[in-house]
Structure 1
Amino acid sequence: MNAILQVRALSSRYGDFQALHDVDMDIYPGEIVAVIGANGAGKSTLLKSIVGLVPVHANAVRFGDTTIGGIGAAATARAGISLVPEGRRLFPSLSVQENLLMGKHTGRAGTWGLERVYALFPALKDKRALPATSLSGGQQQMVAIGRALMGNPLLLLCDEISLGLAPAVVREVYAALTTVGQEGTTVVVVEQDLSTACRVSERLYCLQRGRVTLSGRADALSAAQITQAYFGC
């Protein structure tokens, strides 16, 4: 099976600071992959580099048969990659439903629409006319995921979606992502919580100081291996 996403020798900078160093990654269709690492490891920068929010060399990112490094976030979204950003980044002046509809700007055809999002997250339907930022943190996260799905992506990138949420809400959100994966969308999640990452993913990559220190099937990696790669100790 060919990878849906290939990352090769990806390096990213913020001015003089190099955040990523020659990162390689392969993501295959239909799988759920976790990217783990401590604060500052480069996880969010990796996702931003993939979607075009951070400049990278053109050949550093390949999506299907096309090199997409450096094409920009709008073109990346139109190609079929959606990002659920850290912190949700909802539009406070818009309702839940209006925030969801913003995801349609990619113009991509597909099966994800309002009713399908409401079926995935039933709590949102009754609140669709409310300001999105008036909802609980967990429900706001559902809006952010739903908005990304409205773009009908082939690949969904999720950045720290469990941050600040209660354990029961985290389980609910990840159960929805499992459904999304089972229905054909490839999912990559950035996650600090090791137990959650290992539970929900088929494979994982660990970053430390901008470098991949471990990769493999989540169920084949020992706690000692993951701890060593995560903390470097």
Structure 2
Amino acid sequence: MDNFNLRLKEAMEYKKIKSAELSKLTGIGKSSISQWLSGQYSAKQDKIFLIAKALNVNPSWLIGADVPMTNESTPEKIFNIANQLDNSRQAKVYDYASEQLKEQNKVIQIPKINTVEVYGAVSAGTGEYMVDNQPEEVEYNGKVPEHDFAVTVNGDSMTPLFDDKQIIFVKKSEEARSGQIVIADYDGQAYVKKYVQDSEGCRLVSLNKKYADLPINENHEMSLFGVVIL
């Protein structure tokens, strides 16, 4: 009980309550409260409970126990502390709290999932029939480049550039430069290949060397659907 007067003074300052107001709240005479604050003597247990209830503090703390002063929630604690600051310091608390709220309310940017119309599959191996396919709208998680149509790769002959089932984007074209990746109609089937034209002639080349080249000559019909956008 030796700390009672100091704890009472601290609680009254924290709550910004004067002796007269505490007297009205508790029904205890102002003279008794003044004597407690001066340390002349301590309050009896029944008075301690009245004071603790009026000040909204823990009665055990009020008599010197090593426990929290109040059972207030964090918002209440923040309000009570801020309420004791001068105007300039309250402005700083407000600015800091506002910044914290902005950070909390920031919307997490979820990568946009686009949809693209895929016109069937093109082979990276043995050939696919793509002509006259109806487009299928599928989800595509990534940036969609400007393109004329999209297709799905089927097979592994163009690894490591393209994976099996990868969606690729195409610009329509009937011509290509040597070295470009093209979508070609070769003997009635659609392929994705590298177009090569050199001293050995023209051919469609797989990047995966386990697949043979497709020669372009009078023995085969070949036309281009377009050039793959890389």
TM range (shorter): under 0.3
Richer in helix (by share): 1
TM-score (normalizing by structure 2): 0.21
TM-score (normalizing by structure 1): 0.21
